[in-house]
Chain A
Amino acid sequence: MIEAKNLTKRYGDKTAVNDLSFTVEPGRVTGFLGPNGAGKSTTMRLLLGLDRADAGTATVNGVPYRELAAPMRVVGALLEARAVHTGRSAYDHLLCLAQTQGFGKRRVDQVIDQVGLGSVARKRAGGFSLGMGQRLGIAAALLGDPAALILDEPLNGLDPEGIVWIRNLMKSLAAEGRAVFVSSHLMNEMAVTAEHLIVIGRGRLVADCSTEEFIEHSTEQSVLVKTPDRERLAELLRSEGATVTDTDEGDLDVVGLEAPRIAELAAAGGLVLHELSTRRGSLEDAFMELTKDAVEYDAGVTTAGGVK
């Protein structure tokens, strides 16, 4: 179990992580979402003892990372930035890490097979593609057969085959009872991989709930209505308390009334409907909606509105 309690980290007068508390439970994949600059990587570095928190605590199984005697047996980590000497072969990289934990060559061979790097294990890591580098990073994380995994953007640079591979790997690791904490900016990928989500914006907790709940609560459900009697229907629905807006295509977007009720009202008013469909926002929409006030680097374009 990974636990953050009131974590705070400042760089100069910029607060990267602000009073952040959450728990990552074993046995499931927990997605860690947030816009760029929200503090995801910093939070992970605090959990792993690479950065020192200005306030609060981060523990794994109740122990701060820096006090673990054989940390790789407890937590496996993949950092966003490369953490490999470019002049060393993948095999030697894993071997020197394995040796710090008292493991031998057999374990190195095992993880190399597990991540499918067998054919390039003796080549210099400096020549690896982004995807191969990620596999090497995953191999290092798995070395100690850890109870918890902290993976920062593991999907970066992977081809579709690699993405499916990591998705299945994370799910199987969680199914074995491990805590899997994975950050990503790919919302839709998290929707299919993570059961639970922790969302942050500007270093603060925005949401901590199941993926299902997250989508349900943070996206508005709306009903698309096509009708030849636009004005009359809109008036009718507004009088029932709905919010009605015109879409670019000349249809109606209705919020606040369920589809059956709209159909009833239309029938009662003798109005013709050509289409009536309920729309639910995607995880992408939910995320944008939730973090729109917490975006660190705003390009000045309201992306949230443009996705629909």
Chain B
Amino acid sequence: MTTVTAPAPATTVTGGAREPGFADLMLSEWTKIRSVRSTVWSLVILIVLTLIATVLFMQMGVANWDKSDAAQQAEMRLDPTGTILGSGILLSQLAVCVLGVMVIASEYSTGMIRASLLAVPKRVPVLVAKGAVFGLVVLVVGELTAFLSFFLGAPILNEKAPVSIGDEGVLRAVFGCGLYLSLLGLFALGVGAIIRHTAASITGVIAFVLVIAPMTRMLPGSVGKHVHGYLPTEAGFLITQQHSRASDVLGPWQGLGVLALWTAAVLVIAGVLLQRRDA
């Protein structure tokens, strides 16, 4: 066990003098994501719980149909897709925020970041590759969840608020749901990279997404309406609605664009800080 063997000659080790590229970095980040059990399980639980929540909420909606007021009934008839996706998103966006933070902050809490930066001392490519891989993983999981939710929820809701994937705005809303989750995950990743502490980052992101952003709805006047409308989650969420509401300040794609801009801004700040700070 303790015999010392000389390292193999450089030629066999390096496999030729190939310069490592961005694809190698992405492969490395993929290895990182799939090799931590908690991440994999979180994604599985995300899918399962979201689907369970969707089915439960839809059955409750149908069962309590006669007890709900006219406004609620009208809302569900107007936007069955938003109703189906909305119940699951509450849960899945939480999970995605936590995962986004964990993927980067756990590198700081365990010290892994030092190994990562020794391997890639230019630093920013690490963040880009990590974001690309995590964003793609969440996109796949998000689309899977969104489409499964729709096809599980629509038949339950069918007798009260019929909807088909071919209806206007439905495919966009369902597909957009996965995009929304993916961008939100990257937003959380950016915050995690800036704050670098797991608990603080998770608290920050969730307080913002779940508490502060919805609270801005209560701000008075047109200014309040626009502040609320342009916040990352409130804007991004619009893509999951089948039809726009009169009160919306942005269209569905515009809203997703606003979330994308927020995410880009957070990631740029994270990149600049990563470059500047001591690790």
| A residues in contact (CB < 8 Å) with B | 45, 48-52, 65-73, 77, 79, 81-89, 92-93, 95-97, 99-104, 107, 110, 113-114, 116, 140, 142, 144-145, 161-162, 164-165, 168-169, 172-173, 176
| Contact call B4/A79, Cβ cutoff below 8 A | no
* CB-defined A-B contacts under 8 Å, sample of 16: A50-B117, A70-B20, A71-B120, A79-B111, A83-B111, A84-B112, A88-B112, A92-B32, A97-B28, A99-B27, A100-B119, A103-B14, A144-B13, A165-B2, A169-B4, A173-B7
| Contact call B114/A79, Cβ cutoff below 8 A | yes
| Bound Cα distance A87, B102 (Å) | 12
| Contact call A161/B2, Cβ cutoff below 8 A | yes
| Bound Cα distance A304, B160 (Å) | 88
If A45-B278, A71-B118 are given as contacts, then 20 extra A-B residue pairs at C-beta distance below 8 Å, sorted by A number, are: A50-B118, A50-B278, A52-B276, A67-B121, A71-B120, A82-B111, A83-B115, A85-B106, A87-B37, A87-B106, A88-B35, A96-B31, A97-B28, A100-B20, A102-B19, A103-B14, A110-B13, A144-B14, A145-B8, A176-B6
Does B110 lie at the interface of the complex (its beta carbon under 8 Å from any beta carbon of A)? yes
Does B36 lie at the interface of the complex (its beta carbon under 8 Å from any beta carbon of A)? yes
| Contact call B115/A99, Cβ cutoff below 8 A | no
User: For residue B122, which residues in chain A have a CB less than 8 angstroms away from its CB?
Assistant: 66-67
| Bound Cα distance A51, B278 (Å) | 5
Does B5 lie at the interface of the complex (its beta carbon under 8 Å from any beta carbon of A)? yes
Task: Given A84-B112, A100-B25, verify A89-B35 contact (CB < 8 Å).
Answer: yes
User: For residue B7, which residues in chain A have a CB less than 8 angstroms away from its CB?
Assistant: 114, 142, 145, 173, 176
| Contact call B110/A86, Cβ cutoff below 8 A | yes
| Contact call B112/A83, Cβ cutoff below 8 A | yes
Residue on A nearest B20 in the bound complex, by CB: A102
CB-based A-B contact count at 8 angstroms: 142
Which chain B residues in 1-39 approach chain A with CB under 8 Å? 1-10, 13-15, 18-21, 24-25, 27-29, 31-32, 35-38
User: For residue A50, which residues in chain B have a CB less than 8 angstroms away from its CB?
Assistant: 114, 117-118, 278-279
| Contact call B112/A85, Cβ cutoff below 8 A | yes
| Contact call B14/A85, Cβ cutoff below 8 A | no
Contact of B35 among A92, A110, A173 (CB under 8 A): A92
| Bound Cα distance A73, B15 (Å) | 12
| Contact call B110/A84, Cβ cutoff below 8 A | yes
| Contact call B118/A48, Cβ cutoff below 8 A | yes
Does B248 lie at the interface of the complex (its beta carbon under 8 Å from any beta carbon of A)? no
Contact with A along B108-149 (1 / 0, CB 8 A): 001111111111111100000000000000000000000000
Residue on B nearest A68 in the bound complex, by CB: B121
| Bound Cα distance A101, B107 (Å) | 19
| Contact call A96/B35, Cβ cutoff below 8 A | yes
User: For residue B112, which residues in chain A have a CB less than 8 angstroms away from its CB?
Assistant: 83-85, 88
| Bound Cα distance A49, B123 (Å) | 10
User: For residue A104, which residues in chain B have a CB less than 8 angstroms away from its CB?
Assistant: 15
User: For residue A107, which residues in chain B have a CB less than 8 angstroms away from its CB?
Assistant: 13
User: For residue B38, which residues in chain A have a CB less than 8 angstroms away from its CB?
Assistant: 87
| Contact call B121/A65, Cβ cutoff below 8 A | yes
